[in-house]
Homo-oligomer: A and B are copies of this chain.
Amino acid sequence: MQTPIIPNPSFLIPMQVHILTIGDELLIGQIIDTNSAKMAQMLLEIGAKVTGRTAVGDEHEAIIGALQRATEQADIVLVTGGLGPTKDDVTKKAIADFYGVGFVFDQPTMDRLNVIYERIGKPITEAVRTQCLMPQNAQVLTNKMGTAPGMWFEEGGKVVASMPGVPFEMEYLMQHEVLPRLQERFNALPTAHRTLFTAGEGESTIAEYLKDFEENLPPQVKLAYLPAIIRVRLRLTVSDADPVFVEKILDEKFREMEALLPPQIVAGYGDDSLESVIGRILKEKNLKLSTAESCTGGYLAHLITSVPGSSAYFEGSVVSYANSVKMNQLGVKPETLEQHGAVSEQTVQEMVAGAIRLLGTDVAVATSGVAGPDGGTLEKPVGTVWIAVGNAERTVTKKLQLTKNRLLNIQYSGYYALNLLRLFLMGK
Contact = CB atoms under 8 A, between A and B. Distances in A.
A135 interface: no
A291 B301 CA distance: 13
A224 B25 contact: yes
Interface residues of A, number: 89
Contacts of A304: 297-298
Contacts of A25: 224-226
Contacts of A33: 32-33, 36-37
A50 B24 CA distance: 9
Q: Is the interface of A mostly helix, strand, loop or mixed?
A: mixed
B306 A410 contact: yes
Interface stretch (A3-11, A51-59, A155-163): A51-59
A159 B354 CA distance: 59
A345 to B, nearest CB: 20
A260 interface: no
Interface string A15-57: 0000000001111111111101111110010000111111111
A57 B44 CA distance: 14
Interface stretch (A105-113, A248-256, A266-274, A320-328): A320-328
B29 A37 contact: yes
A52 B44 contact: no
B321 A314 contact: yes
Interface of A: 24-34, 36-41, 44, 49-57, 62, 65-66, 69, 73, 85-86, 127, 145, 168, 203-204, 207, 224-227, 233, 235, 237, 291, 293, 296-302, 304-306, 308-311, 314-322, 324-325, 328-329, 358-360, 371-375, 405-408, 410
25 contacts: A24-B224, A26-B37, A27-B52, A29-B50, A30-B227, A31-B37, A32-B34, A33-B36, A36-B55, A52-B54, A53-B54, A145-B405, A297-B304, A297-B305, A298-B304, A305-B319, A308-B372, A311-B322, A315-B324, A316-B321, A317-B318, A318-B329, A324-B360, A325-B359, A329-B329
